[in-house]
Homo-oligomer: A and B are copies of this chain.
């Protein structure tokens, strides 16, 4: 038997035929279109699945289930997607619609949850009792795995770690609240800190890396400059690491998983980030002698979306 995983992104939709161990056997892809009704978007996904199977000589009878990760809120129990900004979806009955085209068990969950599940099945958190996966990208997402199962909450609206309150009177967030974690721990937060700093520190090498155009600053430029000893970039990096360590301490105080996995674009900084976080974290740990989660980098990269989605049906 094989599993189908569908990774829905803002620009493209990736389909994979995945074996029981989480290995991708065959692939397909379509472009994400937001100018068509959700019924047509979902039919295009189903057609891509059927084409990928046909092109690789896999019969539908061999498919055990189909799983989908969406960049928004998904309610696993009902199969409804109440909100998915990248697709322009509101209250879309995803599973019911998809099964009009392919009559197999269909599962849907949030993309960060799915990525966390992939790391549990075939990545850095394999074999652990419990894990929290954090995607550090344009925003911040979370995936919670407890006793080998994805936990998206009772209503399917949990593991939205990016929107827990970290600063009561802090920066305004798109969600309407103040001081959400993703205002401090996302790539966007790094970029905002760097843009502000350039007014007072035009001598920073970040300025050269962005060609003098602060609108072109990205997180990698800031981390690269920090790594090479630029003082302004170093201060931003240290501030970011302090925020991230406090967010990780909050995860430990709350859920205390066996392992916390850092994924998403910012985590591509690799050991430079990981080592700094591991050094900073003990400052915030509640009791200095207590045991707490290992902090690790995600291993699977962009394939985590396909693999984890496929494994929703396992």
Residues in A lying within 8 Å of B, measured CB to CB: 73, 75, 82-83, 91, 129-130, 142, 144, 146, 151-161, 163-170, 175, 177, 179, 184, 243, 246-247, 249-250, 252-258, 284, 286-287, 289-293
Contact = CB atoms under 8 A, between A and B. Distances in A.
B177 A249 contact: yes
Given A146-B151, A286-B175, A165 B257 contact: no
Given A146-B146, A157-B256, A158-B257, 5 more contacts: A83-B287, A161-B253, A167-B167, A168-B243, A255-B255
A254 B167 contact: no
Nearest to A180: B253
Contact of A254 (B158, B256, B293): B158
Copies of this chain assembled into the complex: 2
Instruction: Please classify the interface of chain A as helix (H, G, I), strand (E, B), loop, or mixed, using the class held by over half of its residues.
Output: loop
Central interface residue in A73, A130, A153, A179, by most chain B CB within 10 Å: A153
A146 B256 CA distance: 14
Contacts of A257: 153-154, 158
A158 B290 contact: no
Contacts of A144: 255
Contact of A164 (B73, B250, B292): B250
Contacts of A291: 75, 155, 157
